[in-house]
Amino acid sequence: MPALTANVTNTVALVPGYFSGALTQRDDLRGQRRRAVAVAVPALVGGIIGGILLLITGEKLFSAMVPWLLVVAAVLIGADPWLKRWAKNRIASTETQSTGHLATTAGAAFVGSIYGGFFGAGLGIILLALFSLVVPDNLIRINALKQLTSSIANMAAAGFLVFSGRVEWVVVPVIAVGAIIGAVAASRWVRGVDPQVLRGAVVVISLCVAVAYLLR
């Protein structure tokens, strides 16, 4: 399957997974109504822009970009513990405000959502880092806002890309089921599995696939 077609198919198939992830943290969004409203439109528009950029890029250029995008995703996933620790320390050093900085929060959602609509891998980590810079709140509530933003951006991009003619519908149900299982498992901290081992495996696989693309 061509790289661009595979990415479009993944974007469409991952909608249930993103939605499930947001649903599992809905309780942590209580009291964040203004933030949720602030990120909704930027995430929607950003996701669509990312989808448009993906199609404009074309198969040849996107295939050339894939290995480097995978390397970026691998680095983000590998750095996840340090980014979360940095975010936690930064949040602890700032004074919590009930409303947050809505304009900058919306801007962060917009930037992250463009990336998510274009590629998606590592989107959650990017949004978590961006929101940690501008949202003065605890990490759990910021993570819930991240889940909501990711879900909206993904659904917006998928809604646009579904009409592109590049979706391989045969594999969509398989990916969708796997995404739902992954989202539910992640929300429960993947009990019984060492997070470091799991993270390391994902990083190694991403780098191996990137090398395979470079050697084609």
Nearest to 202 by CA among 24, 25, 79, 54: 79
Nearest to 39 by CA among 145, 198, 191, 135: 145
Structurally, the chain folds into a number of domains equal to: 1
Spatial separation of the C-alpha atoms in residues 29 and 192, rounded to whole Å: 27
> Environment class of residue 122 by beta-carbon count within 10 Å: exposed (0-12), middle (13-18) or buried (19+)?
buried
Nearest to 112 by CA among 96, 131, 127, 92: 127
Cβ contacts of residue 165 below 8 Å, gap of 6+? none
Model-wide pTM > 0.75? yes
Residue ranges of the chain with pLDDT lower than 50?
A: 96-100, 190-191
Per-residue model confidence (pLDDT) at position 199? 67
Token pair in block for residue 146: 């991240």
* 82-135 pLDDT, tens digit each: 777 776 676 666 554 444 478 999 999 999 999 999 988 778 888 888 887 788
- Cβ atoms < 10 Å from Cβ of 23: 14
- Containing domain of residue 118, as a range? 3-215
